[in-house]
Amino acid sequence: MTKTCITRAIWAPDGQECDVCIDPAVDAPSTLFAGDIPVPGVAQVTPAGEMKIPAQSRVIDAAGKLLLPALYDLHTCIEIPGRSKRECIMRAGEAAVRGGVWGMLVLPSPAFCFDNGAALDSFREAAEARSVAEMMPAGCISLGMRGNEQAPYNTLSTMRGVRILSDGESFPTNLLMLYRAMQYAADLELIFAVRADVPALTTHTYAHPSSTAYKLGLHPCPPCAEEIGTETLLRLAEATGARLHLQLVSTAESVRIIRRAKESGRVKVTAEVALHHLLYTHENIGNYDTVYKTVPPLRDKGDCEALLEGVKDGTIDCIVSAHTPCTPFSKKQDFISAPAGMVGLDTMLPTLYTKLVKPGLLSWTELVQACCLRPAAIASPWEDEEGGRATAPLLLFDPEEEFVVDEASLACGTLNTPLLGEKLYGKVTLPLH
């Protein structure tokens, strides 16, 4: 394998210009940091101009561009209703790389129901062949994601390398099943990725209790449902010793609950927030704009702020795309009938930069921690079957370049993003070699 040297790049977390040599053959301890977290897998770093370029290495002149670890996305659903699995895999992979995402956790969905070894094998094979991005499947918590019978965790984890379990969109309503699953899986070091909810409080609800919900006559989804669910899951995790990853945290109070739990040190818990919950509120729904239909619903400005605060102080470990393709036809329906979700992979890093970093709401260090290092640490995608070494790919980002999000710039196969027609900053180069 050839060495790659990147010269005169600006290391995004500290803004220093440097030369970097990536040598896949050398197992070097990292010398690059994002804040206090080391970035694994870079061979050699020197201040700009001081690198001795090794022979036969590829040289990339990165003057004026930012260098940072590529993103890892812990929440994607890649199924495009009505399309073949092969196409779903290919498109999601292409979309991810465009948005600066090198690897992702693929949550089970009806077409990708990872509740048995064969489903995982065929998915891995297809992903290997067709996806330019790394895809790690999350195993199902229950058979068929129906919430009543446990999936074969041992088969999924020890034989097929699954590290994270999730029932995708569905919340396990049967707490006894979840309790026993957590007890059983605790020893297997499996992580339970669950969205906190109390379904009895949220069925047939479509919007955050707000002026929007009132104006549009949409039944309100009380935030306390998520908060009660969060408490419940934390107690279950504490009681069973299982590792818990809270998906799609959306309310300010949930952030406080998680902060307290983390401070207590009694629960092994991590948490994520969807990018759209940081950027949009119920007001964006306007006059029934189905693009903004999400689960949990878009909430208040105060929630956005508390969530961002949670990201900055590490209470919320990572920002995810919550990528969910929905066909244009399905989103053309009325708000109540339309499916929930947005696509976000294609535009991930440019959106993060344009909407959070550029206006000064999030630093590059915080971004690298929340979108690259912490999610990768949770999924630990590099600990391969052979106990392979740590490699976080790097990417180059040109913050000066701008583009308008249109059909051509979206590889994911559907158009359900509110960014359509919007100007974003930043061009991603990934992979570098």
Partner 1 sequence: MKPRKDLITIESLSDEDIRTILESAVSMKEIFTKSVKKVPVLRGKSVLTLFYEPSTRTRSSFEVAAHRLSADVTTFTPSTSSVVKGESVHDTIDTLMSMKMDYIIVRHKNSGIPAVIARHCNASVINAGDGAHAHPSQAFLDAFTIREHFGAVEGRRVVIIGDILHSRVARSTSCILRRLGAQVAFMGPRSLVPQMRYTGIECLADWDAVFTWKPDVIYLLRVQNERIENPFFPAADYHHAFGVTEQRLRRIEDEGMAVMHPGPVNRGVELCDAAMEYKNCLVCNQVENGIAARMSILYHLTPGTLS
Please count the CA atoms within 13 angstroms of the CA of 159 that sit on its side-chain side.
Answer: 12
Rounded to whole angstroms, what are the CA distances from 218 to 209, 210, 293? Answer: 9, 10, 11
Buried b (16+ CB within 10 A) or exposed e, 202-212: beebbbbbbeb
Q: Where are the beta strands (DSSP E) in 12-95?
A: 16-22, 32-34, 37-39, 44-47, 58-61, 66-69, 71-76
The least CB distance from residue 338 to partner 1, in Å, is 9
C-beta of 220 vs 314, nearer to partner 1: 220
Give the residues lining the site for partner 1 (CB under 8 A).
204, 209-211, 213-220, 287-288, 329, 332-337
Q: Which is nearer to partner 1, 336 or 377 (CB)?
A: 336
Name the residue nearer to partner 1 (CB basis): 33 or 288.
288
Cα 143 versus chain centre, distance: 24
Strands 423-429 and 394-404, sheet pairing: antiparallel
- Of 56 and 287, the one with the shorter C-beta distance to partner 1 is 287
Provide, rounded to whole angstroms, the least separation between the CB of residue 250 and partner 1.
Answer: 18
Q: How far is the CB of 360 from partner 1 (least distance, A)?
A: 30
Q: To the nearest whole angstrom, how small is the minimum distance from the Cβ of residue 79 to partner 1?
A: 19
Q: Cβ of residue 214: shortest distance to partner 1, in angstroms?
A: 4
Return the number of the residue (266 or 332) whose C-beta is nearest partner 1. 332
Q: Determine the Cα–Cα distance for residues 120 and 139; give it in Å rounded to an integer.
A: 8
| CA distances to 55, 74, 90, 185, 322 from 430, in Å | 23, 19, 16, 36, 21
How far is 238 from 230, CA to CA, in rounded Å?
12
Structure tokens at 243: 């590792």
CA-CA distance, 248 to 253, in Å (whole number)? 13
**Smallest distance, partner 1 to C-beta of residue 330, A:** 9
Minimum CB distance to partner 1 smaller for 220 or for 241:
220
Sign, CA dihedral 105-413-68-322, equals negative
The least CB distance from residue 290 to partner 1, in Å, is 9
Nearer to partner 1, 148 or 333 (CB): 333
DSSP string, 275-291: HHHHH--GGGGTTT-GG
- What's the rounded Cα separation, in Å, for the pair 417 and 154? 38
* Residue placing its CB nearer to partner 1 in the complex, 265 or 328: 328
- Please give the Cα distance from 270 to 191 (Å, whole number): 9
CB nearer partner 1, residue 188 or residue 420:
420
Which parts of 131-205 fold into alpha helices (H)? 153-154, 175-186, 199-202
The least CB distance from residue 251 to partner 1, in Å, is 17
Return the amino acid letter for 421: G
Distance in Å, CB of 203 to partner 1, minimum? 9
